[in-house]
Amino acid sequence: MKSKVNELHIIFNQKKRFSFPYNQQESLIPKNGIYILFEKGEKYKEYDRVVRIGSHTGENQLIPRLRQHFLMENKNRSIFRKNIGRCILKKNNDSYIDNWELDTTSRIDKEKNLWKLDVDFEKQIENQISEIIQKNFTFCVIEINDKKRRLDFEKKLISTFGSSNELIPSKDWLGYQSPKEKIFKSGLWQVNNLKGKTFTEEEYNEFKTIV
């Protein structure tokens, strides 16, 4: 009997795949849904391995959320980008990693933290992050328009993969450089909801009908 992680890999690998630049395919991407990220070189058995699961909270904001990951060079708008930046800095034993944690999103944070930042250096890191994401990551999408249902299924998916011991990264996976233990132990580019509630059989069957 296949595990849920096995079955979901089969399902997701059969979905239409998007890669950068995907702007000419945006008409095929739903406005609301859950995105499933795959990473070059990462395999689960014969399938491309799931490395991140995400969604969005605003109405019709899936494409803008994807742009925040793939295009917008602002790690304060994308925890995914921030995590990759952490790996780059840690891999290089760069002491700037403490400054990388500082946020300048709000006016108060900007006044408090902006003077501590090397803006030109952060632009260099952001450029590296964009290159890594655009060259190495692809995604498929599960359309779910109902916000409550979408966010609940997102959490259940993350927990299903996060609580599994089946995800084994390649030896060169960048996530091994993460200062976040949850990332390099789970094999996923995320830290939240990894050990939350997983699907009941009824919920899982419902999700499969949507897919």
Predicted confidence (pLDDT) at residue 109 exceeds the cutoff of 90: no
The count of domains in the chain is 1
Which pLDDT value is given to residue 111? Answer: 86
What range defines the domain where residue 51 resides?
4-210
Collapsing DSSP states into helix, strand and coil, what is residue 85? helix
Alpha helices in the chain (DSSP H): 4-13, 62-70, 79-91, 97-100, 107-113, 119-136, 147-162, 181-186, 201-210
Token reading at 207: 């999700």
Could you read off the pLDDT of 63-108 as tens digits, one per residue? 999 999 999 999 999 999 999 999 999 999 999 999 999 988 888 8
Region 165-171 average pLDDT: 95
Chain centroid offset of residue 211 CA: 19
Predicted confidence (pLDDT) at residue 110 exceeds the cutoff of 90: no
Token reading at 18: 């998007």
Could you read off the pLDDT of 179-207 as tens digits, one per residue? 999 999 999 999 999 999 999 999 999 99
Could you read off the pLDDT of 5-22 as tens digits, one per residue? 999 999 999 999 999 999
pLDDT-derived band at 30 (thresholds 50, 70, 90) equals: very high
Which pLDDT value is given to residue 84? Answer: 98
Could you read off the pLDDT of 33-51 as tens digits, one per residue? 999 999 999 999 999 999 9
Region 167-186 average pLDDT: 97
pLDDT-derived band at 1 (thresholds 50, 70, 90) equals: low
